[in-house]
Amino acid sequence: MSFLVIDVGTSGVRAAIVDPDARITRDAYREVLPSSPAPGLVEFDPVAMAGAALACATEVLAGEVVEAVGITNQRASTIVWDRASGEPVGPGIGWQDLRTVGDCLVLQAEGLRLAPNQSATKLVHLLDQHDPDRSRELCFGTVDTWIAWQLSQGALHVTDLSNAAVTGLVDRDGSGWDRRVLEVLRIPAEILPAIVDSTGVVGHATALPGAPPIAALVGDQQASLVGQGCVAPGPAKITFGTGAMLDAVYGPTRPGFETRGGGGTFPIVAWRRDGRATWGIEAIMLSAGTNVEWLRDDLGVIATAEESHTVAARCAHTDGVVYVPALLGLGTPYWDYGARGALLGLTRGTGRPQLVRAVLEGVAQRGADLVEAAELDGETPIRSLRIDGGMSRNPTFVQALADACGRPVEVSPVVEATTLGAALLAGLSTGAWGSWDEVAGTWQPREVVEPTGTLDRDRWRDAVERAKGWHADLSALDF
C-alpha cells in the first residue's frame, strides 16, 4: 500500500505517491509564489496554497488507494482564519518576513527572546490588525495546521511538535504552549491548535477520495532528516536549496544550551512519537543556491544553474580566489547579519571559471562550517554526511564539499528528501515500517563522493573575518 504526501514549500506545493519501497512513483506540482509588497515583507495567499494542495493531491490520487497521508511544510509561516467560516483574516506571513524585527528587539530588552523568523510576533501582528481586542473566534496555525484543517474540512485544528517548537510559543522542554509567553503577547490560548505527535493518525482527509487517515505532520527540515535515514545520533544531513540547513539527531533529552550552543547551532524537536520527543540540532546557511542565482540572474556569468558545474570544471582550482557567500549575512556559527559577500584574491588572470569555482567552493566551505558547529554542539562526531536539495546535483560543488569537510558525502536519490521523510513517518504510524531501524535501512544514496583533495580552511577563516561586520548596525543584531 502506498502513501500520499503533501509537501508545501516556500514557492510551491507538491503532492506525491510513495510506494512501500520508499520510492516516489507519481507527483504533481503547483507554483504558489510568495509576494513582497515592501522590502522585508513576505506574504502568501493561504486560499491559493490550500487550493493547490487539494488539486495536486487529487491529481496524483487518480486511480490510487493510499494507506495514509503525510504533510510536510515550510516552518513558522503564520496563518490566522475565522473558526466559523474558515476564511483567512488576511494574508499569510512567510517565515522570511522581517516586519517584526523592531518588536523582537523591544521584547528582548524586556527579557523575552524571540526571533522575527518565528511565528510568535507574526501572529501578534495579525491579531493586532484583525482582532485588536481579542474578541473574535479565530484559529492560528502554521502551514501544517492549515493544510490539515483543509483536508479534514475543518474537523482538525492540530500541529505537531516539530512545527510548534519553532513558533517561539512552546515551553522550553516541549511539553506544551508557554502560558507566560502567551500572556505577555496577549495571545488567547483558545486560538492555538492542539499539539500532536509527528507520526500517528490524527484524523481523516475527508476532502480527498476515500478519506484516507492523516498519519504524519512534520516540518520540512525534520522530514528531510528522516528521509535521509538520519534517525539516530551519528549521521547528519544538509539540504542545499536557496539557503542550507544542517540537521542532526541529538537524542531524547533537549540540548543543554538555551538558544544557541557554543558552535552556533540551536535546539530543535526532530519529531514526537507516542508522546515522547526526540531532539536535534540545526545549523543554518543563509544563502547557498542564492549565490548561483546571483551568478546567473544578476551577473550573467552563467546561463543556467547547471552551467555552474561545467564552467567551474574548466579549471582545477581557483588560483587563490576565495568567495564568502554572505549575500544575506552569515548564519551558523558566526551569526552576523551585517556580514556581506566578499570576493578576495582577484588577479588579472582571474577568469570566468575561477570565479564560478570560487562561488561553489565558498558554499562548500560554509557547509564545512556547519558540520564543525554540529560536531561541537552535538558532542558527537558526524560519521556520515548526507545531502539533498538543488545543489546536490552539481558534481563540482559536491566534490568541493567532500574536500572541505574531509569526509565522504552521500547524495540523496531524490532532490527533495522531505517527501520521503513524511511518507516514512506516516508508514511508521500504520506499521508499514515497524521500527526506526527499518526507516534507517531505506536510505540508499544515489552516489557517495569521496574527498580527493583539501580546501584551505585557514585562508577561508581569514576571508570570513574580512567579510564580517560590514554593516555594523546589522551586525549588532542578535536573535
Confidence class for position 258, pLDDT limits 50, 70, 90: confident
State the average pLDDT over residues 108-121.
95
Contacts 24+ apart (CB under 8 A), 462-466: 463/322, 463/324, 463/342, 463/344, 464/324, 464/330, 464/334, 464/339, 466/324, 466/342, 466/344
- Decide if 252 contacts 277 (C-beta within 8 A): yes
Question: How does strand 138-141 pair with strand 79-82?
Answer: antiparallel
Is residue 1 over pLDDT 90? Answer: no
| Helix%, strand%, coil% for the chain, nearest 5 | 35, 25, 40
pTM score, two decimals? 0.95
Q: What is the pLDDT of residue 129?
A: 97
State the average pLDDT over residues 29-47.
95
Is residue 479 over pLDDT 90? Answer: no
State the average pLDDT over residues 290-306.
97
> Per CATH, is 229-408+450-479 categorized as 3.30.420.40?
yes
* pLDDT tens-place string over residues 300-313: 999 999 999 999 99
Confidence class for position 94, pLDDT limits 50, 70, 90: very high
Chain center to CA of 404:
23
Phi, psi of 72 (to 5 degrees): -135, 155
State the average pLDDT over residues 145-159.
98
Q: What is the pLDDT of residue 115?
A: 94
Phi, psi of 207 (to 5 degrees): -80, -5
CA 248/CA 469 separation, integer angstroms: 29
State the average pLDDT over residues 36-58.
96
Fold of 2-220: Nucleotidyltransferase; domain 5 (3.30.420)
Strand-pairing partners, residue 81, are 88, 139
Residue 7, judged by CB atoms within 10 A of its CB (0-12, 13-18, 19+), counts as buried
Rounded to 5°, the CA angle 117-40-240 comes to 55
Of residues 208, 218, 226, the one with CA closest to residue 152: 208
Outline where 431-476 has alpha helix (H).
436-441, 457-467, 472-475
State the average pLDDT over residues 390-403.
98
- Which residues, in sequence order, are CB contacts of 180 under 8 Å at separation 6+? none
Strand-pairing partners, residue 160, are 196
State the average pLDDT over residues 342-356.
98
- Which residues, in sequence order, are CB contacts of 43 under 8 Å at separation 6+? 34, 35, 36, 37, 91, 92, 93, 94, 97
Q: State which amino acid sits at residue 204.
A: H
Q: What is the pLDDT of residue 142?
A: 98
Q: Considering the chain, what is the average pLDDT of its residues?
A: 97
Strands (E), 125-174: 138-141, 158-160
Q: What is the pLDDT of residue 386?
A: 98
Residues in the chain: 479
161: part of which helix (H) or strand (E)? helix 161-164
Give the max Cα distance, the chain. Answer: 67
CA 432/CA 430 separation, integer angstroms: 6
State the average pLDDT over residues 99-106.
95
16, 24, 426 from 423: Cα distances, Å: 9, 10, 5
State the average pLDDT over residues 111-121.
95
CA 43/CA 48 separation, integer angstroms: 12
* pLDDT tens-place string over residues 50-82: 999 999 999 999 989 999 999 999 999 999 999
Q: What is the pLDDT of residue 239?
A: 98
Strand-pairing partners, residue 204, are 213
* pLDDT tens-place string over residues 217-233: 999 999 999 999 999 99
User: If you search the block for the grid coordinates 522531505, which residue do you land on?
Assistant: 418
Dihedral (Cα; 465, 468, 472, 473), 10-degree rounding: -150
State the average pLDDT over residues 138-144.
98
* pLDDT tens-place string over residues 233-249: 999 999 999 999 999 99
Domain with CATH 3.30.420.40 in the chain: 2-220, 229-408+450-479
